[in-house]
Each structure stands twice: as C-alpha cells, then as structure tokens.
Structure 1
Amino acid sequence: MHSYLKIHKDDNVLVALRDLEQGTVIDFEGQSFPLIDRVAAKHKFTLTDLHADDSIYMYGVLVGKATKDIPKGGLVSTENIHHASSEFHLGKRKLNWHKPDTSKFDGRTFMGYHRADGSVGTANYWLVIPLVFCENRNIQVMKEALVDKLGYKKAKTYESEVDQLMSLYQAGKSPQEILQADMQASAEKAANKRLFKNIDGIKFLTHDLGCGGTQQDSQALCGLLAGYITHPNVAGATVLSLGCQHAQGHILQTEIAKRDPAFSKPMIILEQQKMGTERNLLQHALKQTFTGLMEANQNERRPAPLSKLCIGLECGGSDGFSGISANPALGYVSDILVSMGGSVILSEFPELCGVEQELSDRCVDEDTAKRFMDLMITYNKRAEDGGSGFYANPSFGNIKDGLITDAIKSAGAAKKGGTSPVTAVLDYPEKASKPGLNLLCTPGSDVESTTAEVGSGANVVLFTTGLGTPTGNPVAPVIKLSTNSVIYNRMPDIIDINCGTIIEGTETIPQAGERILEYVIQVANGEIQPKAVLLEQDDFIPWKRGVSL
C-alpha cells in the first residue's frame, strides 16, 4: 500500500493514504522533503511552497486559495486555505469518451417487474401517502392495521432489552449498575408469512408539506409524489387528502399524466372532509387498498435487459477517500451501464461546485449545457441570499476527514458520474426519461437528494459513505458502499460493499466497478436485500426548495 497519492498531474497537493508523522520524508517525482506537520490519513499536504492567495489544485481543478504561506510538506487545513473555484462559461462540446469493456455484462438480464409504460421495477411495493401533513396520523393508523397482519413486519425488535431493563429496575438496581449490565441480544421473532407473495411491502410516506407553505412547494410535492406513484418499483397507491389544502388531488393527477400519460396502475384517492368520520375514511381506505393489493399481486418477476436499470448515484458522510475509491468505482459502473443503454442520475448540485465547466462541456448540446449552468447559478444565488452559498456545504464530519472546502468535496463527488456525455439536465422533481447520464438539481443533503433521485425514476441507488450513514429509501433499494475498510468493518450492519480495497491497492477501480454491478444485478433480481432494506431505513424527505444545501 502506498502512503500518499497525487490524484491528477496538475495537482500541487498530495493525499495521505495513511497517518503520516511529522518529519516523515516524502520521496516523490524526483524530489525529497520532510513533512512539516503530522498529516492524518485522508488529509492533504503541499507539494510546493505556497504563498498567500496562491491557488490549490486537486483532481486537476481549482479547489481553494491559500490564506497564508504554507511551506512544502505543510498540512492543508481550514487554518490556511479557503474555498475557491473557477469561473465557468459556455464552451465547446467535449463528447468523446472511452467506453469501458462491457463484455462481462453483454446479454445479461435481471428479473424485474414489467410495467405498462415500458419501465421495469427491481421491487414491487404498494404506497400509502398523504397529500398533506394533516393526514399523517391516518397513515400511521393504516400502517398499524396492515403491516403485521399482511406479513410485512420485520422480525428483529428490541423488546427483550426493554424487558431486561425493567427487571433490573424492579430489582432495585442503581442507574450505574444498569449502565454496566450485560444485555442479552433479542431473540428474533418469527415474522408472519406474507399473504401477497409478489408484493414486497406496503410503504407509508409521511411528510410535513402540502399546506401552509408556498403553492410552489405544494406543486413540487405533487410532482414528487407523482414520481413515486409512477415509479417502476411501485404497483399502486392509496392517497389520503384532507380536502382544503394547497396540494390537491387534481394537481397530483396532472403531474402523474406528465410522467405517464396512459397511467393504469390501481390508485385510490380519498378525501376526509367528504368522507366524514375517521372510521368511514379508514374502512374505505383499507378495503380499497386490500383489493388493490390483490390486483398488484398478479405481477411476477420476468427477465429484463440491464438497460432497464436506472441507478441513482449518491453519497453521504463523505470523507477524503470518497473521490479516489468508492466514487470513481461508481463512475465506472455508470459508464458501463450507459454504454449498455441504461441510465444514471447524478444529483446534489451544491457538490458540483467547481466542476461546472467539465460537466457543461460534456452536455450533449448547448441548450442542455445552458440549463445546467443556469440552475447552478440560480441555486447558488438563492443560497447566498439566504446567507449561505455553496461554500458552506461541507459538514463538520466532512471537514474533520479531509473535505475542507466545497470544491474539494465537489471534485470528488462528481467522480460518481463517470466520463460519459450528459444526456439531460433535470430540475427537481422532473422525471429521468432519457438513457445516459442525467444531472438532477437537488440539495447536497443526502436524504433529500436520495428521495429526489428515486422520485425521478432511479430503481436502484448506489450510495457511498466514508463516515457511515444508514440512509435508505421506501421503494428503491439503497446499496451502501464504504470508501475505506475501517468504516466497513466498524459498521457492517449498514454497509453492503467495501471499496477500501482500492485504497489498499488490492483491487483496481474497474475491478471494483464490475464487482459492484454484479451485486446490483443480484439486488435487482430480488436475490439480495441491501442492509438499508433489511433495517427498514425508509427515509423520505421532500425538498422544500431554497431551504437546504
């Protein structure tokens, strides 16, 4: 394993691949010098002497400016650099790219659920959703009534741990004794057998929108919900409305028609203010949902080409290894899938700051490039008007683990999109309808962005993490990939795939990419359930436009 890495030939910093002590002699490209500071793994140190206001480059792009002199071998930190990124403009199209070898996957299929609109699902769920937050309680009542009885309750609980704590309390144990007690793990209870063998689950999507905000928020909410209802992983839906809110049923139906003009899935819309009592509403909802499930259960898995996969590319809890291990491995998967006629979605626009020129140049035509640049400019201006531009995107955890400017974070995050041309630029919550690489305007917040990618049609999400995050989604399997082996070994209950092998030098990026795609196919077949699915990590947060980075 090497101790440090230069990512791009034009970079003037090196990345530490392991902890390097002060005084460690660096031998690189014919020069030898000692480290001025201790440099922890994932952090960077200078390859040349830098002066105040000198530019700092990583991944071949501008990622910051020095705020003071930094000697060769000095640690790069928030104490001596600040965010900076290059200006961008409408340039020439750069659409030539090196397509990867796809021979291992040519002719391969997955077993999916075929929909009337031609899309194919990797799962088969029924949705129960509110048009307004006032209906969240009724959604919860339906969940309590349906999930266990129909065989969808997960077996693992922590009830026995609570029983143990109660026993210790009743035995007169002190708080200190209880904290030090050896707790026995819960025995897994046998789950009820599923009544509907072809329905993977019933998902209940609560939220805090629909009324009380702007009409733009309600319109966007209806678009997002329409994206979920028309999603290939969704068999049908029950929609509860209060009646007087901004987000009306006819708006939802208009948004559904935009995405699927010949929409034919079973869908029930019930309005409480028309139905009267809660009992009347819920009895109708339960009966109609049950008969809808009977219809949806007729669909069975059948072979589909890999071109029917639409993969969301996501990251959360990123670290200094994200851009050199897991993210470029996803980029390789992206290029393979695009080469085979599939589609991928890259989002999180605040984390594309600094790579706008490259991505706009890769857009298939000037109109697409202009739309991308306009969305980036408008979004950043809204953030600045609210007192926080893209520069404020990195979190405490990002900074602690080496992503000390937004441009450093962005340059690594963009690697998830591979090298293929950008075929479409989408504004939230538009649907991805073209094969190839789609750019979707979302915040950098991982749950909001994952929610949006699935709403745009991703039937699988690949999610990289360096610090560990449990994020999942109600209808699309979220496959978690670690950027380093330490977090993979520490959090095996939430992470599916280890890409730390790339850092350790035991696997190349293409080898990791092919391994990831093999796993995706198994998930798409229903053979493997990712950890987020097993844990029922059903995160669903609509983006309230302009509030979140």
Structure 2
Amino acid sequence: MVAKDKLTFLQIHPADNVLVALTDLPKGTPIQHGGTNLVLADDVAGKHKFTLEALQPGDEIHMYGVLVGKASQYIPQGGAITTENILHAADGFKLGSRKTQWHRPDVSAYAERTFMGYPRTDGSVGTANYWLVIPLVFCENRNINVLKEAMLEKLGFAKPRGYEDEVDQLIEMLQTGKSVQEILQADLKMTPEGESSRKVFANVDGIKFLNHDMGCGGTRTDSDALCGLLAGYITHPNVAGATVLSLGCQHAQASILQEEIKKRDPNFSKPLMILEQQKLGTESRLLHEALKQTFAGLIEANKQQREPAPLNKLNIGLECGGSDGFSGISANPVLGYLSDILVTLGGSVVLAEFPELCGVEQELSDRCIDEPTAQKFMNLMTTYAARAEADGSGFYANPSPGNIRDGLITDAIKSAGAAKKGGTSPVAAVLDYPEKVTKPGLNLLCTPGSDVESTTAVVGSGSNIVLFTTGLGTPTGNPITPVVKLSTNTKLYNRMPDIIDFNCGTIIEGEETIEQATHRLLDYVVEVASGNIKPKAVQLGQDDFIPWKRGVSL
C-alpha cells in the first residue's frame, strides 16, 4: 500500500483489475499494490476507480469479482475509468447448481433481544400504529385532502408550523421598502419548532392520507396491481385500520381490493370502512360518513399497546438511492451483514430494485433455495430487461448523473455494490410486485430502481422497517414505515444532518469495521422499532407514496 497512515485506495475483490480511490489522488501518485508498482496516469477523485494494468479496447473490467464493463478505448496503467473509456457490460446467466451454503454470523448477543411493537392478529408485529385513509381512484383525491384538512390538526396529528414566520419576515421587509438585494442577503430568523396540539388518540402514531394518480384510465394490470399494493398497506403490521374512498365506476373496484386483502390475510379482522360516493350520493354525505367511521376506527386503534416482541418479527426492507462510489464498500455491506444476522435469527429481509441487480444474476439465482425459485428470478429479470430495451432504455441507462459523478460509471458497477445489501444467505423466495413476504429469510422483490416507487413497494410487501443507504443524500420516506437513512461517507452525514440518521463513513476512515458498524446499527434499529427514536424522514413527515405503473421505470 501507499506509505501513508491512512488507507488511500482499496481492491474490493482479489479478481478485480481496478482499484478504488478512497480519497482524491493526483496524477503521478505512486501506487504499490501486491507485486504491482504503478504511477497514476490521471487525477483520480475519491470514490472513482483506476486500472491496475493497461487495457486495450474490448478488454474486460472487473469489480466485486464480476464483469462490470469493457474498455472502449486504450486505458493506460493507472488510468482513471470514465464514461469516455468504459462501456457497460455484464456476464450472462443461466440455471446453475444450488449454492446455498453460507456462514451464519454469531447472533448470541441478540438471541433474547426484543423490541416493543404492536402485535397483530395475523402474527405479525408493527413498529408503528397508523390509520390509513386512501382512495381507490384519483377522482377521490380531493375528498381525501378535505378529510386531511378537517382531521389532522383537530386530532393533534398536524406537524408543527413550518416556515410561515419566515414568510412574514419577507412580507415585512417588502412593506418597509427593502430592496431585492437586501431581501436576498437577509438572515431570516428560523422559528423554533413547537409541539403540535395534544393528540386525542395517544396510542395512534398518525393518520396517513395516501393520494395517487391511478385506479382508472390505465391498464387493468396496473389497476389490479394498485389494489394489491393498497391491500398490502391495509394488512401491513404498522396499520391498525383503514378508510377507503371509492367513486364506484373505476377499474380498481372495491371487490378486487377485498380479494387482495383476503389473499394476504384470510382472517382479516382490522377495522375497514369502504365508502362509495356514487352509492351515497352527495359529497357531504360521503365525507360525513368518512369522518364518523374513521373516528370510530381510531377509538379501536387507540386500544393497541406496544408489547415485547422477538427480533424475528422484524421485516427489513433494503433500499438505496443517491448512491456513490463508497456505497458498495461501506453502507451496503453493513446492510448485508445485518441481513445475515436477521436471517439467522429467523427474521425477513427484502432486497428489491431489480435493475440494480444487473450483472449479479448468476450469483443470486444460484443462491435460490430451489430451481423453481431461481427460474422465477431469472424470468423476471429477463422480462424486465427486455421491456426496458424495447422502450429504448435498457438497464445500462440506470445510473443517474449523480451516480456517475461519484464513481458509479456503469449499471453493473452500481449493481454489484447494491447487491451487497442482501448479504450472503440463501434466497428464500422471489416475489413479483406487489406480492407479500410470507417466508422468513432473504426475499427478492421485483421493483424498479426508482427510490420512492421501490420503497413504496417494499413496504407494501410487509417491511416494518426500511434501511436506506445513500452517498449523495435523499430525503425519501414512507407514510407508515420508518425509513432509516444511512450515509456512505462522513462528509454527507455532516453536510445533511437533517435527513441522515446513521453514518457508515467511519468504515472508509478506518474507525470501525463493517461488523462493528452493523452491531451499532442493529441497536439503533431496535430503538426505532420500539418507537424510542424517530428517524429524520418521520420527523420531517416525508410521506412519499408512488405506486409502480408496470411500464418501464428504472
């Protein structure tokens, strides 16, 4: 290694022919790795990669031990890889032999550990206790908003005042003759956040109103999937009951929703109010009934109390967004190790975002518990990729400008790091959107890579905690499930403390091992699951909810 106290570069896998810069390395920096001595041919920014050997056009580039690209032009030894000199490439995949042997981590410290959750009649346990108010079709969005305005503040669920006082200051400056330049340079006085009015229902975490733009006018496949997704939310362990508004004539019929609920919970017993506007007549009658019935449901929901539950009642959704070149080195491996711990304990984890599994299909299919499960995964990946190609935007187009700027040059590089969130355990089940998790262990869920669509889907599958890694920063949250945001680097953690909950940059800086950071994270997760810590997305009311239209979304 370079003769410095701090590690400045890393080879992730012994088969890799590129190294990752852990800090900015100027052109001319001498590099010693194993038996190779080289001098950097380019400036290499932190998080980016440089070659161990000279590469000719067409030569393969490997990271994480897999093919992630091919050189599109000559790259000298020690040259930085960029969008100009590398093209996306990934190995093919086929049905192989089962590779389900794995090393179970020591979980003795967590064997008797519990969290304080809300037990449900189907055996699941919630980490929160919400009431849902949802439309079956976009035509009811306005009525949903009317109910929201009527109920939240009166019942004590409204957020504290936001920036109204700051707007008052701007108006005052305008009225007192301040110039535009003076206004732009003004130091607005932030108003301390106050407490919202006292909650009427102390054991209810909130009422969540979920607007969307679906339910009619699209394909029947999309409206049926919407009913399945909404059924996933209604039967979710973090939900005590729901009020559903239906117009009556839309594709997403109440009967389809009820069938989807029964699929997920044959003995469903939560309070559920379905109100159809075309049957009830006037809008005022619909809203009066919705108010009364929701209030009655909240009385029942308020009877729920937290009780101790074993950690195998956790269902962890594994997500990433705004990824960077450190994602696959710090935060994602932490999630992978935590996944293995939870699987060993008998819990469930959900790895989604199928466009970000491009290039690791062979490994994941081989890890499936049986051939039918492996075949289902490969079929979903093949079909999804073909539809993306048909629409002129294959998986190769998945990396965003921010991903590329921070070192994720090809989709295969991004995917190889993203897959680390799934740890090393066997794949217990493969689910197609919007299926529900029914088996403990590692579940693969077909979703797009889009942050909010995927998080919405993962929660719909039953995840009662979502762990979300980010290298660039994203405020993504969810209405009913706590979303814990993990930074891949300390600079981000310090720069955006209002949205980041947990720092994995300590691994890059050599202050912690992956195992140490994982144990710290698991302790944090238990506190979140018990309601003792509210993640930043919950504090901000970041209630992102976007159902997936099954057309191509990367």
Map Cα deviations across residues 182-231 of structure 1 (whole Å, 9 max, x no partner): 11001323311111111000000100000010000000000000000000
Q: What's 2:533 paired with?
A: 528
SS of residue paired to 2:166: helix
The residue type equivalent to 1:369 in the other structure is A
Residue among 239, 243, 247 paired with 1:234: 239
> Is the counterpart of residue 424 in structure 1 residue 429 in structure 2?
yes
Deviations 1:223-242 (A, max 9, x none): 00000000000000000011
Separation in structure 2 between the aligned mates of residue 156 and residue 479 of structure 1, nearest angstrom:
24
SS at match of 1:75: coil
Say yes or no: does 1:106 pair with 2:111.
yes
| 2:267 aligned partner, one-letter code | A
8 Å CA contact 1:6–1:13 kept in 2: the answer is yes
Give the whole-Å Cα distance in 1 for the aligned partners of 2:375 and 2:505. Answer: 37
Alignment pair present for 1:10 and 2:10: no
C-alpha distance in 2, partners of 1:546/1:86?
A: 25
Mapped contact 1:379–1:546 kept (Cα < 8 A): no
Paired AA for residue 109 in structure 1: T
Aligned residues: 549
Matches of 1:31 and 1:139, distance apart in 2: 64
Cα contact 1:13–1:47 (8 A) shared by 2: yes
Query: Residue type of the partner of 2:450?
Result: S
**Structure 2 residue 491 is matched with structure 1 residue 500:** no
1:128 to 103, 124, 133: 133
**Distance in 2 of aligned mates of 1:472 and 1:129:** 18
Give deviations 1:251-279, integer Å, cap 9, x for gaps. 00000000000000000000111111111
Alignment match, 1:36: 41
The separation in 2 between residues aligned to 1:313 and 1:469, in whole angstroms, is 15
272-281 vs 196-205, greater mean Cα deviation: 272-281
Q: Quote how far apart the aligned CAs of 1:156 are.
A: 4.2
Q: Quick one: which amino acid aligns to residue 389 of structure 1?
A: G
Q: TM-score scaled to structure 2, two decimals?
A: 0.99
Question: How does the TM-score come out when normalised to structure 1?
Answer: 0.99
SS of the equivalent of 1:265 reads coil
Deviation by residue 1:128-150 (Cα, 9 ceiling, x = unmatched): 00000010010001001111111
> How far apart, in 2, do the equivalents of 1:120 and 1:31 lie?
54
Q: Which aligned pairs between 1:87-102 and structure 2 lie closer than 5 A?
A: 87-102=92-107
Structure 1 residues 382-434: Cα deviation after superposition (integer angstroms, max 9, x where no partner): 11111111111000000000001000000000000000000000000000010
User: Could you tell which deviates more after superposition, 6-15 or 97-106?
Assistant: 97-106
Distance 2:223 2:551 in 1: 14
Q: CA RMSD in A?
A: 0.6
Of 481, 484, 487, the match for 1:482: 487
Aligned-partner SS, 1:56: strand
Task: Show CA shifts across 1:155-204 (max 9, x none).
Answer: 24111000000001111112111110111001323311111111000000
Moved segments of 4+, more than 3 Å: none
User: Which residue of structure 1 lines up, in the alignment, with residue 350 of structure 2?
Assistant: 345
Q: Distance in 1 between matches of 2:192 and 2:374?
A: 56
Matched, 1:388 2:393: yes
Pick from 68, 77, 86 the counterpart of residue 73 of structure 2: 68
| Aligned counterpart, 2:181 | 176
Distance 2:177 2:384 in 1: 58
The one-letter amino acid paired with 1:445 is S
In the alignment, which residue of structure 2 is the partner of 1:138?
Answer: 143
State whether residues 394 and 403 of structure 1, in contact with CA within 8 Å, keep that contact through their aligned partners in structure 2: yes
Residue 443 (structure 2) pairs with residue 438 (structure 1): yes
Residue identity over aligned pairs, in percent, reads: 72
Q: Does 1:53 align with 2:82?
A: no
1:249 counterpart residue number:
254
1:347-388 deviation line (CA, Å, top 9, x unaligned): 000000000000000000000000000000000001111111
Structure 2 portions without partners, runs of 5+? 1-5
After superposition, residues 43-442 of structure 1 pair within 5 angstroms as 43-442=48-447
The residue type paired with residue 289 of structure 1 is T
Give the Cα separation in 2 of the matches to 1:213 and 1:182: 48
From 435, 459, 466, the equivalent of 1:461 is 466
**Aligned residue identity for 1:384:** E
Q: Which residue of 1 aligns with 2:3?
A: none
Contact 1:331 1:415 in 2 (8 A): yes
Q: For 1:537, give the aligned amino acid.
A: Q
AA at the equivalent of 1:490 = R
Amino acid at match of 2:282: T
- Farther off after superposition, 146-155 or 336-345: 146-155
Deviations 1:488-540 (A, max 9, x none): 00000000000000000110001111111110000011100000000000000
- What residue number does 2:545 align with? 540
- C-alpha distance in 1 between matches for 2:66 and 2:195: 54
The equivalent of 1:447 in structure 2 is 452
Report the Cα distance in structure 1 between the residues aligned to 2:195 and 2:233, rounded to whole angstroms: 31
* Matched position secondary structure for 1:178: helix
